[in-house]
Structure 1
Amino acid sequence: MISTSSSQKKNLQSLLATNLKKLTITPPPNNDFEFAEVFGPLTPQQQHHHPNPTQSPSSTSSPSAFLGDPQVIHTRSHSYVGPSPRYTLSSSPPFQIQEIQETETENEAEAEAEEEEAKTKFGPEDFEIMRVVGKGAFGKVFLVRRNGRNDEEGDGDGIFAMKVMRKDTIIKKNHVDYMKAERNILTKVVHPFIVQLRYSFQTKSKLYLILDFVNGGHLFFHLYRQGIFSEDQARFYTAEIVSAVSHLHKCGIVHRDLKPENILVDADGHVMLTDFGLAKEIDESSRSNSMCGTTEYMAPEILQSKGHNKDADWWSIGILLYEMLTGQPPFTHANRQKLHQRIIQEKVKLPPFLSTEAHSLLKGLLQKEPSRRLGSSPSGGDEIKKHKWFRSINWKKLEAREIQPKFKPDVSGKDCTANFDQCWTTMPADDSPASTPTAGAHFEGYTYVAPNPWLSSK
């Protein structure tokens, strides 16, 4: 029995081996799986054929994934809110956004967590909207009163300016970096002639900056109502502006958009510098190649794309001073290209009715070569403060706000808006809805509360 069983097993094994040799497998047609179907899409690092290894596949054909340079303002608007409509000349982006799904999901979760945390601090519901006082490319500025729901400082009647900016518009215009820079710079700067940031927060669709409300209106408003300023009045305003800009430069910040529309006058008659939407942190040895600013106030080196630094602000102050003393900037033209040529090539024509000291200061500030411009030396703003046109200014008293302005705006109270253009103040005072951007990671870390602002001011 045992021998028969062994013989049968050998015969079966031999038959099986013979049949296996004849066996062939035909693959089914068109049913192969793609690599991506099994393991997911290739990462940017795996795509060696990709022209830019740092770029995600989804952004290869999307120019909107790039953040361009800040842009040039050609339509001036005296707005609390920031830049007027602009256009971009530069085609070289400083960096690009990588849209990686997992990272976005994590960042969205972080942004939502920050939003939840902000609700325990401050949010739009903590402020009662009273009136519109400005409008710009990204949103509006409202006069608001803080309500008592979150009244830790005991100042529930506090009057503020609430700058509201739409995230979708900021992202579409590639200004994410500049809006973040504005908030970051304002948290670092404290100066008697610079508007103070009190809070910043965000919702899913908007950014909010809560600033001190300066109720005397814009310098633009008073200049165009008076026509021109006397040298004494212009000297006082220019001195306070020079003081503020000198402080910015010492903090490594260039403003880059100095003009009457971005300077407010408070109830006591002092000027307050505002709108840091184009400001940039830059060290002494660096230069920026961005084409930005308001055309009439842009330094020649910006228009020529030679690279610029803090010296560009001193040029803008020269233009601003010229406008205060004469009623208009020194270089104007309806044609943009001809305006550029005038700024780069033409000499400044100084009116004979100005003092020789004013002539001297304007010539120094409006030097087309930055290295020859007044304020370009290592002493910076101190060089300008020592100019003979400012001989009558006691800078210590000025910066302590001890010099009494000769002109004070007609203000009836902390919430007075009589010195703001009626084109804004007659607008419906509502924070209208806005669409929520699909990517929520752009504005991480935006929330801010100033440290004990009222206690420190006493």
Structure 2
Amino acid sequence: MFSVFLSPGSTLTFEDLVPVLYQEGRYQGDPVTLGIGGFGRVELMTTLSHGKYYAVKRVSKKHIVSKRQEEHILFEKEILKAIQSDFIIRLHAAFKDTRYIYMVMEFCSGGEIWTKLKEVGRFEESIAVFCTACVVEAYSYLHKKNIMYRDLKPENLMLDVKGYVKLIDFGFAKEMVRGDKTYSFVGTPEYIAPEIIKNQGHDFAVDFWSLGILIFELLAGSPPFSSSEPQRIYAKILDGVLKFPPYMSEAAKSIISKLCRPRPGQRLGNTKNGIKDVRHHRWFSNINWHKLRMRQIDAPTIRLIRKGPCYINFDRFPYDQTKADEEFSGWDRDF
């Protein structure tokens, strides 16, 4: 184990962490895997001393280098290190060895919003409103720090033990000076704003576009522009025709239409009052924003969370015993 970053007040060492094992079922006795992504695995760990749980993201350094993601990973760590918001996942520590980098994150025991959405088909309005309000608070915090998020989708939203929503995965986040534009092509196809597709340069407005897409997906169970071919999705986004299902409320249709305006300068959240306009939209009329920030609202999402072993709200994955190759280029000196 080489260098380590620890959040203030943390005295965690890598040796303190032990895997949590499945207690039953076909993977009984194997370490619990919470998720698998293109970049590695997230495993559930605990400490012998005080029994706290952590989600540990383990990524192959060789894979990072081959995909040229060194900058992204270093930036993600720097962002998470600096962030202190109840609506964004906490990074407790970071470690590395010759094969992997490890990010020791807060464990959100309620699972992914994406999983819950698949279980119930679509969310009732009060749940969608609450989830989206949490995202608005996360955005407000990030945008104040001049950080664009750029990867909103149900897979990147987790539920904590109280049912509050937290943003995870900052692989596409970028620091931006107000008034500047950037030209990189990033995001998940269904959530990409038209100006990214047209390569016209983009800014914070893309986060409001994706918020509109998220609201639609939470209420309908699938996003408004979809296809198995990314090119067809982009064509539909550029056409910009939103087809609302009949059960969607007028307030929901209104906020989605205003967030998903083709012209970034006309989007709700991106005009002169900024994010205040989003908070003041009538779709959020039942949200007390101060109480939300103080975590004093009883989250309606709590009824989506199953009771049982700490990993009950996650899909199960087989244990992977293969080891990544070692990597010695030194890009992770500062990790």
In the alignment, structure 2 segments of 5+ residues that lack a partner are 21-31
**1:3-58 C-alpha deviation (Å, 9 max, x unpaired):** xxxxxxxxxxxxxxxxxxxxxxxxxxxxxxxxxxxxxxxxxxxxxxxxxxxxxxxx
CA-CA distance at 1:380 after TM superposition: 2.1
- Correspondent of 1:434 among 315, 324, 330: 324
| 1:1-150 matches, cutoff 5 A | 115=2, 122-130=12-20, 131-148=32-49
1:265 equivalent in alignment to 2:265: no
Structure 1 match to 2:56: 162
Aligned position for 1:194: 88
CA displacement 1:225-268 (0-9 Å, x = unmatched): 11111111111111111111111111111111100000011222
Q: TM-score, normalised by structure 1?
A: 0.67
Amino acid at match of 1:438: F
Letter in structure 2 aligned against 1:329: P
Residues 101-146 of structure 1: per-residue CA shift (max 9 Å, x gap): xxxxxxxxxxx9xx26779x65543211221111111211000012
For 1:323, the equivalent position in structure 2 comes to 217
Matched residue SS, 1:397? helix
> Equivalents in 2 of 1:391, 1:412: separation in Å?
31
Match of 2:127 in 1: 233
Match of 1:307 in 2: 201
- Alpha-carbon shift at residue 182 of structure 1 (Å): 0.6
**Structure 1 residues 213 and 388: alpha-carbon distance in aligned structure 2, compared to 1, 3 A threshold:** same
Contact 1:246 1:380 in 2 (8 A): no
Distance verdict in 2 for CA 1:331–1:118, change over 3 Å: closer
Greater gyration radius: 1
Long gaps (5+) in structure 1: 1-111, 149-155, 447-458
CA distance in 2, matches of 1:336, 1:412: 38
Deviation readout 1:69-97 (Å, 9 max, x if unpaired):
xxxxxxxxxxxxxxxxxxxxxxxxxxxxx
User: What amino acid is aligned across from residue 132 of structure 1 in structure 2?
Assistant: T
Aligned to 2:43, the other structure's residue is in SS state strand
Residue number in structure 1 paired with 2:228: 334
- Native 8 Å contact 2:152 2:191 kept in 1: yes
Three-state SS of the structure 1 residue aligned to 2:139 is: helix
How many residues matched?
319
Aligned-partner residue type, residue 386 of structure 1: H
Query: Is the CA contact (8 Å cut-off) linking 1:122 and 1:201 kept in structure 2?
Result: no
RMSD, aligned CA:
1.9
CA contact (8 A) 1:318 1:365 kept: yes
Paired letter, 1:228 = R
Task: Give CA deviations for 1:360-392 in whole Å, capped at 9, x if unaligned.
Answer: 101101111111111112432111001111112
Kindly tell me: are residues 311 and 158 of structure 1, through their superposed partners in 2, closer, same or farther at Cα, counting changes over 3 Å? same
Question: In the alignment, what sits opposite 1:407?
Answer: 301
- Counterpart CA distance in 1 for 2:206 and 2:269 is 10
Instruction: Determine the C-alpha separation between the residues in 2 that align with 1:198 and 1:291.
Output: 30
What's the CA shift for 1:411? 4.3
SS of residue matched to 2:111: coil
| Matches of 1:331 and 1:324, distance apart in 2 | 14
SS in 1 for 2:300: coil
Who is 2:268 aligned against?
374
Q: Give the match's secondary structure for 2:210.
A: helix
Which of 284, 292, 311 is equivalent to 2:178?
A: 284
| CA deviations over 1:138-164 (Å, ceiling 9, x no partner) | 21100001234xxxxxxx312100001
Distance 2:185 2:125 in 1: 32
Conservation of the 8 A alpha-carbon contact between 1:132 and 1:429: no
Contact 1:143 1:162 in 2 (8 A): yes
Per-residue CA deviation, residues 266-287 of structure 1 (Å, 9 max, x unaligned), is: 2221111111111111121221
- Change beyond 3 A, Cα 1:145–1:429: farther
Letter in 2 for 1:212: E
Change (3 A) 1:284 1:378: farther
Aligned equivalent of 1:215, options 109, 120, 126: 109
Amino acid at match of 2:285: R
TM-score by length of structure 2 reads: 0.90
Q: Cα distance, 1:351 vs. partner?
A: 2.5
Q: Hey, what does 1:66 align to over in structure 2?
A: none
